[in-house]
């Protein structure tokens, strides 16, 4: 009888502690950007900033308060774009040949912050 009670208590303890984790839980959130806007990234989120740009040449400028939580490159269908770093902002020159092309950039945030994304058509 004691063995059965020990076994049951052990099973209850295992079930109880299997639901508890010590790692931070991040929420995934993908953000769509088609024009100039200010994004507010909430605490403990990660995801992708997705850019949908029609055919043409564009200049994309990222101006966050702190640049550490955003990947410095933008990934397209077959292209990886590296930025020009001016002060506390990233500048990208993007040339699209398709009617609408998508690009994305990953981010991970530990605290709430705001990012200004400016999209300016060159041609």
Q: Measuring CA to CA, which residue among 60, 58, 57, 54 is closest to residue 115?
A: 60
Whether 120 and 51 have beta carbons less than 8 Å apart is answered as: no
Distances (CA, A) of 12 to 3, 7, 17, 85, 119: 14, 9, 9, 55, 55
Q: What is the pLDDT of residue 111?
A: 84
Domain assignment of residue 58, yes or no: yes
Domain membership flag for residue 8: no
CATH assignment of the domain containing 46: 2.60.120.380
- Provide the whole-model pTM: 0.70
* pLDDT score recorded for residue 26: 66
DSSP letter (8 states) at residue 24: P
| 72 phi and psi angles, rounded to 5 deg | -80, -10
Number of domains in the chain: 1
The pLDDT of residue 50 is 92
Examine residue 2 and state whether it is found in any structural domain, yes or no. Answer: no
What confidence score (pLDDT) does residue 14 get?
82
CA-to-CA distance for 108 and 5, rounded, in angstroms?
46
Domain that holds residue 92: 23-121
Q: What is the pLDDT along the chain (123 residues), one digit of tens a residue?
A: 788 888 899 888 887 776 665 556 667 788 899 999 998 888 888 889 999 989 888 999 988 766 567 887 888 876 767 788 887 888 888 888 888 888 998 988 888 888 899 999 987
> Is residue 105 situated within a structural domain?
yes
* Contact yes or no for 103/58 (Cβ under 8 A): no
């Amino acid at each position: 009888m004691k063995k059965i009670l020990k076994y049951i208590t052990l099973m209850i303890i295992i079930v109880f502690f299997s639901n508890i984790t010590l790692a931070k839980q991040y929420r995934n959130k993908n953000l769509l950007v088609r024009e100039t806007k200010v994004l507010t990234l909430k605490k403990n989120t990660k995801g992708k900033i997705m850019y949908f740009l029609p055919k043409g040449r564009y200049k994309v400028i990222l101006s966050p308060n702190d640049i550490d939580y955003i990947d410095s490159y933008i990934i397209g269908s077959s292209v990886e774009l590296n930025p020009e770093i001016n002060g506390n902002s990233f500048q990208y020159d993007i040339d699209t040949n398709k009617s609408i092309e998508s690009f994305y950039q990953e981010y991970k945030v530990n605290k709430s912050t705001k990012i200004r994304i400016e999209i300016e058509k060159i041609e």
